[in-house]
Structure 1
Amino acid sequence: MDGSFDAGEAIELTRALIREACVNDGTPESGQEIRNVRVLQRFLADAVAAGRVETQVLESAPGRASLIARVRGTDPGAPSLGLLGHLDVVPVDPEGWSRNPFGGDLVDGEVWGRGAVDMLYLTAAFAVVLREVALAPEPPRGDLVLLAVADEEAGGEYGIHWLVQNHPDAIRVDEALSESGGMRMGRHVAIEVAEKGSAGRRLIVRGKPGHASIPYGAESAAYRVGEVLHRLREVMPVAELGPLWSAFVHARIDDPEIAERLLDPVRIDAVLPQLGGIAGYAHAVSRVTISPTVLRAGAVHNVIPAVGTIDLDIRTLPGTTDENVDDLLSAVLGEWAEDVEIEHLRGWAATSSPTDTPLLAAIGRAVEEVAGAPMVPIMAAGGSDARVLRELGIPAYGFGVLGEDWSYERYREGVHGHDERIDARSIELSLAALRRIVADRVG
């Protein structure tokens, strides 16, 4: 395989994927990822025609398609490596953009468009390397599998979850690379090895209804919603510093005094305001977080509401159970706990992959060779399809090697933000590292 930094094909494929505008707004008919499946099919056509790649188009609903492309290895005992990328993107507000969000423009060495960072550049790089392996003079030792899936941006019910339930053999791999890596933590390149879980809850509070023209004697549930919100704002879950925390601190924090305080769960909150743009990430991955997101009370203008609800987006740490979450909410609510009913919403457990696997070691070597920088394993505050593979016992890591000026803060601004774009240098670095990892793991 070519280990060079040439990334012309990956850049052009990224642009083509952006232009298909596979926007997923969470409705069953949105996404229409079949359009990006066709882009990838055209790109892989010569390798398929040569009999080097086996492809399957699997459609969970009309237009909600995923592409599985497998290059067979020669050694049944060699590991199979999955390259897990998604084909959908989140909606845009065109008024916030300087350029056409679906133009795929290449301007001053940057590819512009929705999904450029999240994660079409990586999906393109995965397809490029798969095709290179397929057309190489010698076949690989182990299988290399592109999993280009639908519906990641809305939870994966029409994508990875549906594939696991309906086509488990098609997505069978021993280890995998996916998204949410590559940003710079100081001089380190961050590789995601874990991600927080989700434990949605709805708080239900009750009041005494009445006619809004005669409020005396009634007790609006809207007031109780406000009082519960005030309690949630005033009481913060305590820090729980897990095994990845010290690695993050030592990679990102240069001031030894601040670093020392961050390693103390008692003193961490007092020092968060001194962390600048990384404070939000540090806060998120050091504890369970509770965020009120949807409020409801009342239906008509002239009736004092009897019931109010607060939906909570709760993100959990590895090892946190549903019982732990309910106990935490009771502690946070304090005197309000007996008056609030807690309803469970959709959720999933936090996941993590081992930090001593051959794949992670190969990633570290590739990052060092390509970027001249050490790797640091991190936890993602959000979620990705990689968690589904981890739940199956498959080690999965968030990959990427972004350019030297791609701090975590810049990465977060680019994901789902206005004027999303990725520079050619980051695509080149990621592709070069990916080639080395694939050569290392499947030959």
Structure 2
Amino acid sequence: MTEERIDGSGGAGEAIELLRELIREGCVNDGTPSSGQEIRNVRVLQRFLADAIALGRIETQVLESAPGRASLVARVRGTDPDAPALGLLGHLDVVPVDPDGWTRNPFGGELIDGEVWGRGAVDMLYLTAAFACVLREVALAPRPPRGDLVLLAVADEEAGSDLGMHWLVREHPEAVRVTEALSESGGMRMGRHVAIEVAEKGSAGRRLVVRGKPGHASIPFGATSAAYRMGEVLQRLEAVMPAAQLGELWNAFVDARIDDSELAERLRDPVRLDAALPQLGGIAGYAHAVSRITISPTVVRAGAAHNVIPGSASIDLDIRTLPGTSDEEVDELIAAVLGPLADEVEIRRLRGWAATGSRSDTPLFAAIKRAIAEVADAPTVPIMAAGGSDARVLRELGIPAYGFGLLAPGWSYERYREGVHGNDERIDLTSIELSMAALRSIVSERIG
């Protein structure tokens, strides 16, 4: 395979080249304060927008929450103060890679067989590039838009947004002021439908601490290893699954994705749902995740020296919650799962946030539906995301925010999930072109 040249078909040539540049900067966020260094991708965007900035068509601010942890806010002012201020929310950081799992350079940004390869190609640099391109087009148009168009190209999404959107809305609320927004986690195909994220689960991390009686490992009699207790807790967590709780988006997902009427009927029944999951193939993991609270042990700790029987052990749990779930309900659920072990386990609360959602009857969502119908001749289905994104920060402020995109017909939800944080991440040019076309339509309707 040899690297290709692009011809800019579909009006997406600039977005494709910009995506490749963003990938090459390798703004890897491993969760430590000094990682990410998103200032490099901020500089890429500043260079791309330089002509419109020089003409005074775009107002920009570079805001650093810590050295190198920079976000770019670029605003095109509208003429009507009562018109919407549409935010295009994209992040600049990417997750780490395992180079041994890649068949090409994960930070090469290579264009091979109609696909751009590299970490962040899907999550979500292709959209950040598309957002920047449409912003520039609007800025350089013969007449200004009615409403503001705002690019929020932010840091630290991959590590929870403390140095990105959370910091921005706290420290610079006026700079990031929007009335509605588009972000990531949309555009994948659910049967004939295009999925648009309107909600996402919450997070309620917990640490379970169990106690034993320490002693010298050479004389174990009389000691009680906390590692054994930890094993009992882990077995209980594996054996007990939280029950299904089918929310308002569940039927829409089943209608869009499941053609077999008998299977669809079983999936709508909380009692029969779990037995039907194995028939769903690659979408089963998503169906399981969005139909209940999930509990995943992720970090276990016990002991510090090989010759000391540990007197304490801990298990960290990644818990993803449904809308309306309180911290008290999470603790009650854990106690119920632990059953007879509950009195022996201390539950400590870790960082978390509530599930968030936006209504699907807003003018912005209507514009999304019309754009997708126009560009792809496809209906739209609102979905809940199992993971998290920066959109929740805006939703917490009461601002409608949707996971956007319009991927090519071959991009099922399963393919999308394989690309996000996976090896050999890449995005095809058709998906970039379709997303650009739909985005232009939405922007024109909302603030044009």
Shorter-chain TM-score: what band? over 0.9
Q: 2:59 matched to 1:54?
A: yes
Gaps of 5+ in 2: 1-8
Q: Under a length normalisation based on structure 2, what TM-score does the superposition of the two structures give?
A: 0.97
**How many angstroms apart in 2 are the aligned matches of 1:384 and 1:314?**
16
Structure 1 position 158 matched with structure 2 position 174: no
Tell me the equivalent position of 1:226: 231
Deviation sequence 1:245-299 (CA, Å, 0-9, x none)? 0000110111111100000011100101111000000000000000001111111
Once residues 215 and 273 of structure 1 are traced to their aligned partners in structure 2, the CA distance between those partners, rounded to angstroms, is 44
Q: 1:259 aligns with which of 254, 257, 264?
A: 264
Counterpart CA distance in 2 for 1:93 and 1:230 is 30
Aligned to 2:132: 127
Which among 389, 392, 400 is matched to residue 395 of structure 1?
400
Structure 1 residue 355 displacement after superposition: 1.0
Q: SS of the counterpart of 2:135?
A: helix
The one-letter code of the counterpart of 2:272 is R
Partner of 1:208: 213
Structure 1 position 431 matched with structure 2 position 431: no
CA deviation vs aligned residue, 1:56-108 (integer Å, no higher than 9, x gap): 01111111110000000001110100000000111111111111111110111
CA RMSD of aligned residues (A): 0.8
CA distance in 2, matches of 1:441, 1:412: 30
- Superposition pairs of residues 123-202 of structure 1, within 5 angstroms: 123-202=128-207
CA distance in 2, matches of 1:407, 1:377: 15
Partner of 1:41: 46
Matches of 1:208 and 1:258 in 2, distance apart?
Answer: 51
Structure 1 position 84 matched with structure 2 position 84: no
- Deviation string 1:21-51 (CA, Å, 9 cap, x unpaired) is 1111111111111111011001111111111
Aligned counterpart, 1:355: 360
Separation in structure 2 between the aligned mates of residue 186 and residue 254 of structure 1, nearest angstrom: 9
Distance 2:101 2:236 in 1: 35
Shift of 1:5: 2.9
1:293 maps to: 298
CA separation in 2, counterparts of 1:13 and 1:160?
Answer: 23
- Selected match of 1:31 from 28, 36, 47: 36
1:9 alignment partner in structure 2: 14
**Deviates most, 116-125 or 156-165:** 156-165
Question: After TM superposition, what 4+ stretches of structure 1 lie above 3 angstroms from structure 2?
Answer: none
Q: Using the alignment, how far apart are the partners of 1:324 and 1:355 within structure 2?
A: 27
3-state secondary structure, aligned to 2:186 = coil
SS in 2 for 1:192: strand
Residue 342 (structure 1) aligns with: 347
CA distance in 1, matches of 2:306, 2:209: 21
1 CA distance for matches of 2:204 and 2:339? Answer: 20
Matched, 1:19 2:24: yes
Equivalent residue letter for 1:118: D
In 1, the alpha carbon distance for the partners of 2:223 and 2:38 equals 52
Total equivalences in the alignment: 440
What is residue 332 of structure 2 aligned with on the other side?
327
% of aligned pairs identical? 81
Q: Does 1:93 align with 2:98?
A: yes
Distance in 1 (CA, whole Å) between partners of 2:366 and 2:359 is: 11
CA distance in 1, matches of 2:27, 2:154: 12
1:442 aligns with 2:447: yes
Residue in structure 1 matched with residue 68 of structure 2 by the alignment: 63
Matched letter for residue 289 of structure 2: A
Counterpart position of 2:79: 74
Matched, 1:284 2:289: yes
1:308 CA drift (Å)? 0.9
**Amino acid of the residue matched to residue 133 of structure 1?**
V
**What is the distance in 2 between the residues matched to 1:311 and 1:145?**
38
**Structure 1 length normalisation: TM-score?**
0.98
Letter of the structure 1 residue corresponding to residue 385 of structure 2: A
What is the Cα deviation at residue 153 of structure 1? Answer: 0.6
Match for 2:412 among 392, 402, 407? 407
2:386 maps to a residue whose letter is A
Look up the match of 2:4: none
Counterpart in the other structure of 2:5:
none
CA deviations on 1:328-374 (whole Å, 9 max, x unpaired) are 11111111111111000000101000111000000000011111110
Q: Does 1:110 align with 2:115?
A: yes
Note the residue ranges of structure 1 that are not aligned, 5 or more in a row: none
Q: Which amino acid aligns with 1:301?
A: H
Counterpart secondary structure, 2:66: coil
**For 1:143 and 1:117, how far apart are their aligned partners in 2?**
27
The Cα offsets for residues 380-400 of structure 1, whole Å up to 9 and x where unpaired, read as 000000000000110000000
SS of alignment partner, residue 320 of structure 2: strand
Report the Cα offset of residue 217 of structure 1. Answer: 2.1
Q: Secondary structure at the match of 1:5?
A: helix
Name the CA distance, whole Å, in 2 between partners of 1:25 and 1:298: 26
- Matches of 1:91 and 1:396 in 2, distance apart? 27
Shift of 1:207: 1.1
Q: Which amino acid aligns with 2:69?
A: R
